[in-house]
Amino acid sequence: MAAAIATRKRPALDDGPCLPAAKKRSRYVFGSIYDYKKLGVLGEGTYGKVVRACHRPTGEMVAVKWVRATRGGGGEGTRAALREAGCLAACRGAPSVVQIRDVAADEASGDLFIVTELVDGPTLRGRLNRTGRFPEATARAAMRQLLHGVAWPENVLVGPGGALKICDFGSATPVRPPYDPEDRVGTLWYLAPEMLKGSRCYGPPVDMWALGCVMLELLTGEPMFLGVETKDDLLVEVSQLRHKMDSDGMAAFKGLPPDLSKAAGELLCGLLCFDEGKRLTAAQALNHRWFSESEEAESMGLLTEDASEEAESLGPEDT
């Protein structure tokens, strides 16, 4: 990671859910990337590479997301980094969200580096790929945590003790309109019907639909709309699902375990309600009998398995 000491004012991360646009960046200074020693690559985020690093002054292990200023052209990468950092800052203290530590910069290139706590474990999707669908009890434990935030499986890390941490806010959007008509909020397979139909108003119901998609994925082992490539095609699939749910209830969902409880089916249908006004809220979902009927502690087995086989061997490497 090439870097230089920045000379601009550090962004006021606690001032709101989003940082100013990139064109106002000159008002801010960022931390020095020289303070971090790169140890290995963890993966790719929405707008850049993510590496494991050590904070030289304190020795804390962190994750550093390198966002290239030229990614996407027109400063898109920089704007996304500032937005992501602001959204992470707004979630400070939330137990199910990866915590931001710093924002560093490279003055020469204009690249930004988002520094967060390191959650040293596999992704939820990686665990699904390894084990297949989760038993109902394990899916319930995961959903209990995810309902305290918003997520897609590849953006959820499995930490020590099975704790889930939501990460990668590269596509995060503040809960307010308007948006650029060409912007797409979230990942295609998890977009709510109202977003597919052109709504530019993002709110909690959109996230609850996505969590319904995640719940189904945990119970079946694969995404509900796997293979769909366009918004138009997805809207057709979602509309067909709506009609099947109206007539068949939870039987409309393919691949569910035959012994799945009626309570689980009720919650699933509530999260995947086509009418956003009738879709369950997070509070309603957490108060559903599916959660009250069982303790979370019984169901964390798969989430706490030794992930050593999945972890990539990372050798030390100077920045």
Topology of the domain covering 31-117: Phosphorylase Kinase; domain 1 (3.30.200)
- HEC profile of the chain: CCCCCCCCCCCCCCCCCCCCCHHHHHHCCCEEHHHEEEEEEEEECCCEEEEEEEECCCCCEEEEEEECCCCCCCCHHHHHHHHHHHHHHHCCCCCCECCEEEEEECCCCCCEEEEEECCCCCEHHHHHHHHCCCCHHHHHHHHHHHCCCCCCHHHEEECHHHCEEECCCCCCCCCCCCCCCCCCCCCHHHCCHHHHCCCCCCCHHHHHHHHHHHHHHHHHCCCCCCCCCCHHHHHHHHHHHHHHHHHHHHHHCCCCCCCCCHHHHHHHHHHCCCCCCCCCCHHHHHCCHHHHCCCHHHHCCHHHCCCCCCCCCCCCCCC
pLDDT at 7: 31
Name the band, by pLDDT with cuts 50, 70 and 90, for residue 110: confident
pLDDT at 27: 53
Instruction: Give the pLDDT confidence of 141-151 residue by residue, as tens digits.
Output: 989 888 875 54
pLDDT at 63: 93
With a cut of 80, say whether residue 160 has pLDDT above it.
no
pLDDT at 203: 78
pLDDT at 261: 95
Cα dist. 132→25, 100, 129, 189 in Å? 45, 31, 6, 19
Kindly list the domain boundaries of the chain, sorted by start residue.
31-117, 124-174+184-301
Residue pair 139/215 in contact by the 8 Å Cβ criterion:
yes
Joined together, the tokens standing for residue 261 give 């409880």
With a cut of 60, say whether residue 167 has pLDDT above it.
yes
Name the band, by pLDDT with cuts 50, 70 and 90, for residue 208: very high
What distance separates the 2 farthest-apart alpha carbons in the chain? Answer: 63
pLDDT at 287: 92
Taking the C-alpha atoms of residue 110 and residue 256, their distance in angstroms, rounded to an integer, is: 48
Instruction: Give the pLDDT confidence of 285-296 residue by residue, as tens digits.
Output: 999 999 987 655
Q: Determine which of 121-130, 149-158, 270-279 has the lowest per-residue pLDDT on average.
A: 149-158
Taking the C-alpha atoms of residue 281 and residue 294, their distance in angstroms, rounded to an integer, is: 20
**Residue 231, annotated ligand binder?**
no
Mean pLDDT, all residues of the chain:
75
CA-based torsion, 212, 214, 217, 222: positive or negative: positive
Name the band, by pLDDT with cuts 50, 70 and 90, for residue 80: confident
Q: Helix or strand or coil: residue 280?
A: coil
Q: How far apart are the first and last CA of the chain?
A: 5
What mean pLDDT is predicted for residues 184-204? 81
Tell me the pTM: 0.69
Q: What one-letter code names the amino acid at 44?
A: E
What mean pLDDT is predicted for residues 246-255? 92
pLDDT at 17: 33
* CATH C-level class of 124-174+184-301: mainly alpha
Instruction: Give the pLDDT confidence of 51-72 residue by residue, as tens digits.
Output: 999 999 999 999 999 887 665 4
Instruction: Give the pLDDT confidence of 8-36 residue by residue, as tens digits.
Output: 333 333 333 333 333 344 456 688 888 99
Q: What one-letter code names the amino acid at 205?
A: P
Instruction: Give the pLDDT confidence of 239-250 residue by residue, as tens digits.
Output: 999 999 999 999
Residue pair 46/170 in contact by the 8 Å Cβ criterion:
yes
Name the band, by pLDDT with cuts 50, 70 and 90, for residue 319: very low
